[in-house]
Homo-oligomer: A and B are copies of this chain.
Amino acid sequence: MRKKRFRAQIVGATGYGGLGMTEQLVRHPEVEITALLARNDVGKPISDFFPHLRGFCDRVVEEAHEDRVGQDTDLVIFSTPDRVAMQFAPRLSEAGIALLDYSGDFRFRDAAAYERYAQRQPSVAGKPHDCPELLASSAYGIPELFRDEVRGARLVGNPGCFSVAMELALAPALRAGLIDARSIVVDGKTGISGAGKKPTPTLHFPERAENVTPYRVAAHQHGVEAAEHLGRYAGTKVGLTFVPHLVPISRGIECTCYAQLNGGTTADQVQELYAEAYRGEPFVRVLPRGVSPGPKAVHGSNLCDVSLFVDGENDRLIVVASIDNLIKGQAGMALQNINLMLGLEETLGLDRIPLYP
């Protein structure tokens, strides 16, 4: 096999987020995994934790020693909770090593925005950022909205899974001034893998089967994140109410977004605006009028499907966005960002057709 051009470490390799990245890099033509690092569950092949990987990747998981992180690598991917990547970022930055982080640590370019997020993220509990000086040079990793910022960046904050769906759903309408930016309601539904691999009473199979449960009602950190970046993208202050729900599927997110239309915009006009906004985007499909098949149509892929509806009677726009929370909402988006960071073709290694049924 031809030698790959870039070396990457994955920190947090035994979670679902690390797994998604491993699955992708095993097949990626230019980025090679040189270390799978974790805090627990070390010393055994990754295929012991994820038996589907047997034969594809049997690399032994190593302990994420401080010294090991960043050693002999071009890139470190942090699939870790909030406030882990920020402990390594200054050193890696200095050493010229690229860093992509799955958590909220580098999703905001100014400290004030980070603080608003930090209030909402329970695991951060309002603590201040450890290296605010790096924020200005960081990029927020939704290329469809902020491609210039991501291209060539050395420090990228991968977006929250719900934020991806919400932002791709609402950005064109907001930028065009089509909707009242303070009237937005987002009703999210997520597969259980979105909560990670750690078992908890709430995520126990019998509790989830035959159930639909809202959580962090109007208090989820991805709502803050989306409002922040939608506002930045559209140049307007955005207020939105976001309620996520657990639905009994393994993977997939569907966000149904509602907003008051300004003036008498028609469904055709909305359709045309979105088609134009996403023309040429390899990973966003604006679906034909009336078609909204749900996250199963993007299962296992890096696609985001967007469907548009207008409630003429109540002058309301309804946008439905579907993604695979572990791909477009996490590892796929991360690879798309990494490709841009490394100067590779954006779509490299991301051509998987959705798996159906």
A interface with B by C-beta (< 8 Å)? 16, 19, 23, 26-27, 50-56, 182, 185, 187, 189, 191-193, 197-201, 203-215, 217-218, 239-241, 243, 245, 247-252, 254, 256, 258, 285, 287, 291-301, 305, 307, 309-311, 313-314, 316, 318, 320, 351-357
Given contacts A52-B354, A218-B313, 10 further A-B pairs with CB under 8 A are A54-B285, A206-B250, A211-B293, A212-B252, A212-B254, A213-B292, A218-B318, A239-B314, A243-B309, A258-B258
Assuming the contacts A185-B316, A193-B206, A295-B211, asked whether A357 and B250 have C-beta atoms less than 8 A apart, the reply is yes
Whether the pair B192, A249 counts as a contact (CB closer than 8 A) is no
Whole-angstrom distance between the alpha carbons of A253 and B301 in the complex?
A: 23
Contact pick for A357, options B55, B251, B351, B355, CB 8 Å: B251
Whole-angstrom distance between the alpha carbons of A291 and B51 in the complex?
A: 9
Whether the pair B299, A210 counts as a contact (CB closer than 8 A) is yes
Whole-angstrom distance between the alpha carbons of A353 and B54 in the complex?
A: 10
Whether the pair B293, A213 counts as a contact (CB closer than 8 A) is yes
Whether the pair B218, A311 counts as a contact (CB closer than 8 A) is yes
Whether the pair A353, B52 counts as a contact (CB closer than 8 A) is yes
Q: Which residues of B contact A52 (CB under 8 A)?
A: 293, 296-299, 301, 353-356
Residue of B nearest to A209 (CB): B250
Whether the pair A256, B250 counts as a contact (CB closer than 8 A) is no
Residue of B nearest to A57 (CB): B353
A275 to chain B, nearest CB (A): 13
